[in-house]
Homo-oligomer: A and B are copies of this chain.
């Protein structure tokens, strides 16, 4: 505590300077000689920005930015050179800013805190924010893990959880002997829809709705649906119905022949399990490209949509 001797150095310029006399006092202090220090002209209690930055492990740019934002004004700014001079006691203020930034507050919020507009509720709100971010991040991690577990297989056909909007459809229930017979009834349905004056919705959305959960080898009860712009009169073959919105559905695109559907099912079901979801609705298979517009089976495209919800979150 050698500076102990310097009792008679003029003091009291804690507030930011504004007039000439204050400036003079500050400059006097800057050039005051230490009792024994051999660098008499080095400012002793006022530091230029580079030194102040170095003392506090921050960059010059950062200090200038805080000055601009009004978070930490230098104790004194030379009018002609524009040089910023900082006091040692401002370390504490900077310290506070850095600590608040560490907790996740942004500069705007920190400024409000400085102005005293800070209460418990804001701290709690920030805590909620962090918790939310934390859960989002753990979700990401789980998905990444599932990618890592499944090799690159599911990188080209990834699972995405999205919502399915409400949709009005023309539907036709059938029981097909096997999955192969799935498309047999379709021509009839097309004719019937044309007869009833149906207009297809845009974008087109044509899918098979599996009416029973689980996998059965035969006697599969399904519903063939096509989105339409409005309900028409029900006929013997066709009923109109509205599917309510599905908040979350795990979806995967399947490219290629329908014989390989099981692979895509494996991927999406694994995803559901590994990411803490459970199936909470009947599965839809949406047909996008197929024999009607693609010559090669390899170009066929479908989407499997499985309504899910997070376990425990009902």
Binding site for B on A (CB under 8 A): 1-7, 9, 11-12, 14, 34-39, 42, 44-45, 47, 51, 54-55, 57, 88-89, 91-92, 95-96, 98-100, 102-104, 113, 118, 120, 123-124, 126-127, 130-131, 133-134, 137-138, 140-141, 143-145, 147-148, 152, 155-160, 162-163, 183, 186-187, 189-190, 193-194, 197-200, 202-204, 206, 224, 226, 251, 253, 255, 287-295, 299, 301, 303
Contact between A148 and B127 (Cβ–Cβ < 8 Å)? Answer: yes
Contact between B148 and A194 (Cβ–Cβ < 8 Å)? Answer: no
Chain A binding surface, main DSSP class: mixed
- For this chain, the copies found in one complex come to 2
Of all A-B residue pairs in the complex, the 3 with the closest CB atoms, nearest first, are: A36-B194, A99-B158, A92-B253
Q: Closest CB of chain B to A262's CB: distance in Å?
A: 19
Q: Closest CB of chain B to A286's CB: distance in Å?
A: 10
Can you name 8 A-B pairs with beta carbons within 8 Å?
A1-B292, A4-B186, A7-B292, A39-B200, A95-B251, A102-B160, A127-B141, A134-B134
Bound form: Cα–Cα A92–B141 in Å = 23
Contact between B133 and A137 (Cβ–Cβ < 8 Å)? Answer: yes
Chain B residues, Cβ within 8 Å of A7: 291-293
Bound form: Cα–Cα A203–B56 in Å = 11
Chain B residues, Cβ within 8 Å of A303: 91
